[in-house]
Amino acid sequence: MHMATRFAITAAIFVLLPMDFTAAKERTAEEFRAYASRRIAKIGDQQLTAFVDAVDRDSDGMITDDEFANRIDVFQQIFESVQPIPRGAGHALPDNWLTDFEQARKKSTETGKPILAMFSASWCGPCKAMIANVYPTDEAKQALDAFVPVYIDSEKHPDLATKNDIRAFPTFICFDTTGEAMDQHVGGGDVDKFVEMLATFVESATKLEQESAK
């Protein structure tokens, strides 16, 4: 398999949804190809074939449960190896959001506030929806006041995505002032769900702070 062909899939969108026939012990490569084509956007036939071939490790034309379970790791390995092609900047982040993790760590140390990191990508639809419809609201702004919010473009910072085992977008991680992960949530949502998630993160941060003070 040509490396450039195999790695071209990194520009695609891989949506982590349950497979339609998860009860099966194994499925044919063609069945997996049909599944993957529904879950990956903006991918050509050649790139799709490369991905299916990579998942089918023993090249027997069948995708076993173990091979299917490894599909995300295969995608992640490809994602780690090559800088993807950005799909567009999308909506602008509010002014209170940073885009540099080290800068967020510095501000977190100065303010004593935990970091809220949103791991995303320029092509992530749910991420764009939250940036456009959730973050500008008064409820979200008020809840975010307890954090140092930072947007991590996983296409530009694959090292951070790999280090934190990011497998879907958006993934939210709450870090303490030292940059240590305390809590995590995968998936987007509306204003109420976002504020609820932040409240859970505050509880986690408070609990760890109390335990460390003992």
Please give the backbone phi and psi of residue 26, each rounded to the nearest 5 degrees, phi first: -155, 160
Residue 30 Cα to chain centre, angstroms: 27
Q: Give the DSSP letter string of 86-110.
A: P----SPPPTT-BS-HHHHHHHHHH
Among all residues, which ones are annotated catalytic? 124, 127
What DSSP element (H or E) covers 202?
helix 191-213
**Cα dist from 137 to 98, 194, 212, whole Å:** 18, 11, 34
Instruction: State both tokens at 138.
Output: 């008064």
